[in-house]
Amino acid sequence: MQKNHFNIDWKWQLKHRITTLKSLEKEICLTAKERAVFQENPHFPFAITPYYAHLLKDDAIRKTVLPSLDEEKKRQGESIDPLGEEMHRVTPNLIHTYPDKVLFLITSFCPTYCRYCTRSRMVGTDLVVSDYSESIQYIQQHTEIRDLLISGGDPLIFSNQQLDTLLSSLRAIPHIRTIRIGSKVPAVLPMRIDAELCLILRRHRVWLSLHFIHPKELTEQTKVACQMLADHGVGMLSQTVLLRGVNDSVDVLMDLFYGLLEINVKPYYLLQCDPVFGSAHFRTSVEKGIECIQSLHGRMAGHAIPQYIIDAPGGGGKIPLLSTKQFQRNGDEIVLKNYEGKTYVYPDPLETYL
């Protein structure tokens, strides 16, 4: 591996992201099939940091970031907007689905693009918006909003000053109780975490909702980043997407969740993969997810176990599952009820797609 993989300058890492077949082949050996996919011009862009490239020797992680021809196959129930976010867009940057929560999308840029991304319709355009006045005004006017989730893209690619300015504006709104930032930066760009950023997050009482999918992501650099955040009193939760052939093993999940606890990150959600366009090869059956979560409850300490969640297609919100008794099967779909008692359908074919 080249020494620049671990260059501690996070801006250097972003500037030198690997985005083409030519640059990727300088880092890893590709199979003929992997090379052919790039030549087909995938609809969803490819990008990884040089740091994260050193993890691609692991087949499980490799699957999550290298394009696949399977991405071009649309299956039953898939959508470019599986969670119905666009139906609840109230400003260019705000999604207001739950009564007391809003999703604040401040960028479409990520250091590394995950192939199963729910927002593949919008991320990858590398757009960073600087004027959020309309969104902030909306939040000020809607006093029922208590919780803000800042996401994108990845908000932690903003400078410390930009984040501080935005968070100051949001913290000045009296009815806002909690602010969270969704990010995969500690896994793909851990050198971004510095003491100044930690102090900003602590001052504004921000919780981090971090995206980890495999224990191989818990490198020494990532552990140092999370420990720095913990030492500054920043609360951290993890969200893990259940992915076929990547982490749909109880042993892998146990290793990941215990590893996260060891760096002060609370395993929070184990998410059934959203039925975004071209994701069938990543999705396990719901029965498999329930089997995993039930096994974890029998083998792990309670505080190490996340909730197993389906985010109801069409904007029904998150539905926790512990048993197959919580839904009904209708052919290749399952029918669930959300917190309001409304019915939603998730595609769950009886036979696995090949």
Give the tens place of pLDDT for each residue, 158-168: 999 999 999 99
Q: What is the mean pLDDT of residues 315-344?
A: 93
Strand 317-320 and strand 307-312: pairing?
antiparallel
The H-assigned helical ranges of the chain are: 10-15, 21-25, 32-39, 50-53, 59-65, 133-141, 160-171, 185-188, 195-203, 220-231, 250-262, 286-299
Distance, in Å, from the CA atom of 232 to the CA atom of 198, rounded to the nearest integer, reads 6
Supply the pLDDT for residue 110. 94
Residue 43 pLDDT exceeds 50:
yes
Of residues 298 and 103, more confidence is placed in: 103
Q: Are 149 and 178 in contact (CB under 8 A)?
A: no
Which run of H or E residues covers position 95?
strand 94-95
Q: pLDDT digits over 143-156, tens only? A: 999 999 999 999 99
Least confident of 3-12, 41-50, 248-257, 320-329: 3-12
Supply the pLDDT for residue 336. 95
Q: What is the mean pLDDT of residues 83-90?
A: 94
Distance, in Å, from the CA atom of 41 to the CA atom of 26, rounded to the nearest integer, reads 19
> Which domains does the chain carry?
74-321 (3.20.20.70)
Supply the pLDDT for residue 106. 94
Residue 353 pLDDT exceeds 60:
no
Q: pLDDT digits over 187-219, tens only? A: 999 999 999 999 999 999 999 999 999 999 999
Q: Are 82 and 76 in contact (CB under 8 A)?
A: no
What 3 state SS string does 182-208 have?
A: EECHHHHCHHHCCHHHHHHHHHCCEEE
Q: Are 270 and 292 in contact (CB under 8 A)?
A: yes
Per DSSP, the three-state class of 181 is strand
Amino acid, res. 352? T
Per DSSP, the three-state class of 344 is strand
Could you give the C-alpha distances from 140 to 102, 133, 144, 280, 323, in angstroms and in order? 12, 10, 10, 40, 40
